Every structure is written in structure tokens, then in C-alpha cells.
């Protein structure tokens, strides 16, 4: 898929339809708006909250500090089934849905990255969506290794990551 196709495939057909789990690796995380049926567009955090309330387990691994809008929404109430961790060296972009579907590509979890913005405000992105169990297993193995901190001891970047796999401080 290329450019704006990401929004339909990754967000609407993937993330918003998850039944069991969502695992996301992204360098950048913003409160991307997800346009809906004529009303104010809810953010991706609202969708995470709705999915978490239905029992979907969501793990978000990202590199930077979430946008101020995303942090503000998360501070309202961190959904019980949403866990966020940060690894400053992470640059991978992947979305795993229900351990059965995978997006792997260049797009971050942002409106510009996933094509939620207009044609003149989005990034030029490429990626693949697949149900290949071999590829899903390989990406899930790497996601879990990063999530569990297997790379932290030998990382060599303690200067930018003094607290391995820090969880966001959501205190106001």
C-alpha cells in the first residue's frame, strides 16, 4: 500500500476492528484524529479506550514522547488494557492485530504517517499488510524482545535512556 491507503487498511480495517490484541511499534505517536460519520472525529486514543473497554489488550512501543494532545488524553484516564513503553532507539513501524494480521512499513502512528490528513498534508509512505504466519511470528518475536527489554543491557545508549523501557509519566 502507498500513502493514503494506509489509513483505510491499518486504522479502519486493522486497529479499529481488533478483537483480541493490538501490538504497535512506532517511532512517533500522536493523537491522530480518526474521521467518523459526520461528528467530531475521535482520536486514536479514544479508539484505544473503546477497544480496551471491550477487552482488547493494547501494547504500544514508541521512541519519543507522545504529542501533548496524546498525553493530555492519556492523562484523563489510561485505559486498563493499554500499556505504553518507550525505547529511544526504536525506529521500526509495525502493527500486529490479533496475532493474525500485520502491517509493516514506513508509517508512524500519526495522521501524516497513516494518511488521515489531506493529500497535501500527509507523508509519502509505503508498507505491506499480510497474514503470513512466518512474517507475523518473526515480527512478534522482535516486538516481544524489545518489549521485555532483551536489548537494554547491551544497548549502549544509557545517555538517552537512563530508565530502560520507561513507561510514560502521566501525572498532570
* Structure confidence by residue, pLDDT tens digits, 135-169: 999 999 999 999 998 888 888 776 767 565 556 55
Tens of pLDDT, residue by residue over 77-124, are 777 889 888 888 899 999 999 999 999 999 999 989 998 877 888 899
Neighbouring CB atoms inside 10 A of 130's CB total 14
DSSP state of 39: S
Average pLDDT over residues 32-60: 85
Superfamily of domain 5-147: Endonuclease Chain A (3.30.870.10)
Tens of pLDDT, residue by residue over 49-70, are 999 999 999 999 998 877 788 8
Alpha-carbon distance 143 to 88, whole Å? 14
Contact 2, 125 (CB under 8 A): yes
The set of cell numbers assigned to 16 is 479499529
Sequence ranges of the domains in the chain: 5-147
Amino acid at each position: 500500500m502507498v500513502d493514503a491507503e494506509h489509513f483505510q487498511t491499518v486504522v479502519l480495517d486493522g486497529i479499529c476492528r481488533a478483537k483480541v490484541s493490538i501490538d504497535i511499534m512506532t517511532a512517533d505517536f500522536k493523537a491522530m484524529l480518526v474521521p467518523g460519520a459526520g461528528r467530531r472525529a475521535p482520536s486514536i486514543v479514544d479508539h484505544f479506550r473503546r477497544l480496551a473497554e471491550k477487552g482488547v489488550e493494547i501494547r504500544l512501543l514508541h521512541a519519543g514522547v507522545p504529542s501533548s494532545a496524546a498525553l493530555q488524553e492519556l492523562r484523563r484516564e489510561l485505559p486498563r488494557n493499554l500499556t505504553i513503553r518507550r525505547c529511544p532507539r526504536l525506529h521500526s513501524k509495525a502493527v500486529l492485530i490479533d496475532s493474525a494480521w500485520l502491517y509493516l512499513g514506513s508509517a508512524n502512528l500519526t495522521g501524516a504517517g497513516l494518511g488521515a490528513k489531506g493529500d497535501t498534508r500527509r507523508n509519502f509512505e509505503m508498507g505491506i499488510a499480510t497474514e503470513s504466519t512466518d512474517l507475523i511470528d518473526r515480527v512478534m518475536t522482535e516486538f516481544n524482545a524489545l518489549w521485555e527489554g532483551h536489548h537494554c543491557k547491551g544497548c549502549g545508549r544509557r545517555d538517552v535512556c537512563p530508565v530502560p523501557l520507561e513507561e510514560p509519566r502521566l501525572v498532570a
